[in-house]
Amino acid sequence: MGQVGGGLLILLGVGPDDTETECQWLVNKLSQLRIFEDEDGKMNLSLLESGGEALVVSQFTLYAQTRKGRRPSFNGAAHPSLAEPMYERFCALLKEIGVSKVATGVFGAHMDVRLLNDGPVTLIVDTP
């Protein structure tokens, strides 16, 4: 479905208490993190400054609880009736803020996601 060149693969988990405030905060944070190399090879450019693209994949499994038992519990994830509109709003805000291309998969579908990781940067970014 969705495909991008250089930029970010964002695995987006939505929690039951997430609102427009958290969504906007996360869009601002991810689009402005200085994690792309400048002409000197230093991580000094943001997604917006580098002209990077974003592939956003809904990922409720980020809320998996694995401390008890042998089967993960996903009770901490938002119900799809909340998560899907939040996912769509997140993608819309990335476009509004100026990300050059925002691609998506299909919400709730089983997807084959492939990543070519260019460098040592994999981050977990959570809202306050």
**How far apart (Å, rounded) are the C-alpha atoms in residues 60 and 15?**
8
Q: What DSSP character marks residue 63? A: G
- Residue 1 confidence (pLDDT) above 80: no
Active site residue 60: yes
Which of the following CATH numbers is that of domain 7-104: 3.40.50.150, 3.50.80.10, 1.10.10.10, 3.40.718.10? 3.50.80.10
Active site residue 59: yes
Active site residue 61: yes
**Predicted pLDDT of residue 27:** 98
Do the Cβ atoms of 63 and 15 come closer than 8 Å? yes
| Catalytic residue from among 3, 32, 61, 65 | 61
**How far apart (Å, rounded) are the C-alpha atoms in residues 35 and 118?**
12
| Catalytic residue from among 24, 59, 107, 127 | 59
Read off the pLDDT of residues 20-45 as tens digits, 9 standing for 90 and up: 999 999 999 999 999 999 999 999 99
**How far apart (Å, rounded) are the C-alpha atoms in residues 99 and 97?**
6
pTM of the model: 0.92
**Predicted pLDDT of residue 50:** 96
| Catalytic residue from among 60, 65, 74, 107 | 60
Residue 17 pLDDT level (bands cut at 50, 70, 90): very high
Q: Where are the domains of the chain?
A: 7-104
Q: Which whole number is the average pLDDT over 89-100?
A: 97
- Residue 110 confidence (pLDDT) above 90: no
